[in-house]
Amino acid sequence: MKHEKFNYNSLDEIIKRADELQIKLPFSDDISLLFKPIDINGRTINNRIVYQPMEGNGCSVDGTIGELTKRKYKRFAQGGPGIIWYEAVALTPEGKAKPGQLCLEENNVDEYKRHVEEIKETCIVKNGFEPVIIIQATHSGRRSSPDGTVKPVVAYNNPLFEKNETVDADCIITDDRLKELEEMFIRGAELSRLAGFDGYDIKACHGYLMSELLSAYNREGDYGGSFENRTRFLVNTAKAVNKSMPKDFIVTTRLNIYDGFPYPYGFGVPEDGSIDVDLTEPIKLMKKLHNDCGMEIVNVTMGNVYVNPHVTRPYNAGKYIPDEHPLVGIDRLINSTMKVQKEIPTLKIVASGLSFLQVYSANLAAGMLNDNGTSFVGFGREILAYPDFPQDLRKTGEMIKEKICVTCGQCSVLLRSGKQAGCTIRDKEYYIL
């Protein structure tokens, strides 16, 4: 199936092309539901728009939050989303993906507290309400590179990633170390609360450590093999964090419901060796997180940003040309998300993967909400290019073409090269290649 760049001049053209591809996407012209409040953990969220976690390598050598990072979140706050899902922050230096990745520790809690207060105050002054801010806590696993040299910490050997460079056995994390990391994640939640964050995302997506454990079918011990074992790290951590936090503190996860790799190297796929979507285990896990761990909201995503990024963010330009049409990828992500939401209606789902549709992404977001296919709509790349798009949607009901993210992938190029990531198209004053 031929990959095509975004070349549509109307919503009707997109719908026609989707019909040709035998795809059904729930577009709507009524975007009012994007701005309808909703409650979580006793908190009222002003609207359904979520600014997704967008890493930026925004930390200095000594761990200080960089000025471009502060600028980025000030712009996010001025945009007026209901939730700012703060970027991935390592809880231990060993788990940083890049030297410039943010890291929350005891010695910098006060700095984060001032930063969070500034974000909230900026939104209050500009928009008249306080956003909910959820921090994403991470361990980068096999992508760990705390000093610029890759120092992988893996759940198991994966030939799809390692190919001819098998990771040494001593890089496979032990059960004892995983137990220690459970405690570190619990401590990280307390630090996050002290820093003023409203919620805590135990990151389990895109191939990082927590996510990789979900597909550890061939791992021995307490954290591999069975469904119970493979989900143990996430479930144990979620239960303990929820138990230790106040009731209005949001405990959540950004979760891969599909990796896009064949069994036994991918989560959310059947055991027949195909890469079809099988939501049996993801739904089972999400029900457990909701019913047993007290999660009221889960942010869903797919794919691996290093290996098959088109699965999680279909694009106009990237490091390879996918063998599928971008609308096929959007269909897989959007309709899988809607299946999960309708299977677990009391769990509030955050949808991802909307940006490729550019000015029409708000119509898809509204359609999902109107169809009860999600509770929130998340925007990632879009917010780097166009952080004030909710302002324009409120005023005119439309997004402005000249401001939109063109899904060129250059923000990812900056991130992977270790530079502070941003939009090289719409924000050239600060971000150049």
> Is the per-residue pLDDT at 164 higher than 70?
no
pLDDT tens figures, 353-409? 999 999 999 999 999 999 999 999 999 999 999 999 999 999 999 999 999 999 999
User: Which among 323, 316, 299, 333 has a CA at the least distance from the CA of 412?
Assistant: 316
pLDDT tens figures, 79-138? 999 999 999 999 889 999 999 999 999 999 999 999 999 999 999 999 999 999 999 999
Q: Cα angle vertex 332, ends 327, 338, to 5°? A: 115
**Between β-strands 83-90 and 49-51, what pairing exists: parallel, antiparallel or unpaired?**
parallel
pLDDT, averaged across the chain:
96
The residue ranking higher by pLDDT, 367 or 317, is 367
The superfamily CATH assigns to domain 11-416 is Aldolase class I (3.20.20.70)
- Ranges of beta strands (E only) in 225-370 are 250-252, 254-258, 297-302, 348-351
CA 82 – CA 133 distance, rounded (Å)? 9
Contacts of 82 (CB under 8 A, 6+ apart): 37, 38, 45, 46, 47, 48, 49, 50, 131, 132, 376
> Is the per-residue pLDDT at 169 higher than 90?
no
Classify residue 65 by its DSSP letter.
B
Contacts of 247 (CB under 8 A, 6+ apart): 41, 42
Instruction: Place 151 in a pLDDT band, splitting at 50, 70 and 90.
Output: very high
pLDDT tens figures, 348-368? 999 999 999 999 999 999 999
**Between β-strands 38-40 and 43-45, what pairing exists: parallel, antiparallel or unpaired?**
antiparallel
Instruction: Place 319 in a pLDDT band, splitting at 50, 70 and 90.
Output: confident
The position carrying tokens 């700095």 is 111
Residue 86 host element (H or E): strand 83-90
> Is the per-residue pLDDT at 1 higher than 70?
no
* Proportion of the chain above pLDDT 70, given as a percent: 99
Classify residue 25 by its DSSP letter.
-
> Is the per-residue pLDDT at 422 higher than 80?
yes
Residue 227: per-residue pLDDT: 98
pLDDT tens figures, 42-55? 999 999 999 999 99
Residue 389: per-residue pLDDT: 98
> Is the per-residue pLDDT at 322 higher than 90?
yes
**Between β-strands 49-51 and 376-379, what pairing exists: parallel, antiparallel or unpaired?**
parallel
pLDDT tens figures, 329-346? 999 999 999 999 999 999
In the chain, what are the domain boundaries? 11-416
CA 223 – CA 142 distance, rounded (Å)? 16
* Proportion of the chain above pLDDT 90, given as a percent: 92
pTM: 0.97
Instruction: Place 60 in a pLDDT band, splitting at 50, 70 and 90.
Output: confident
Residue 167: per-residue pLDDT: 80
The residue-averaged pLDDT of 307-335 equals 95
pLDDT tens figures, 248-269? 999 999 999 999 999 999 999 9
Taken in order 266, 270, 276, 279, the sign of the CA dihedral is negative
Based on the number of CB atoms within 10 Å of its own CB, is 264 exposed (0-12), middle (13-18) or buried (19 or more)? middle
User: Which among 282, 155, 291, 160 has a CA at the least distance from the CA of 216?
Assistant: 155
Q: Which tokens hold the place of 262?
A: 């064949």
Contact 82, 48 (CB under 8 A): yes
> Is the per-residue pLDDT at 63 higher than 90?
no
Contact 422, 431 (CB under 8 A): yes
- What distance lies between CA 142 and its chain's CA centroid? 18
The residue ranking higher by pLDDT, 61 or 303, is 303
> Is the per-residue pLDDT at 432 higher than 80?
no
The residue-averaged pLDDT of 227-245 equals 98
User: Which among 416, 303, 278 has a CA at the least distance from the CA of 315?
Assistant: 303
Torsions phi, psi of 406, nearest 5? -100, 10
> Is the per-residue pLDDT at 163 higher than 90?
no
The answer to whether the bond into 26 is cis (omega within 30° of 0) is no
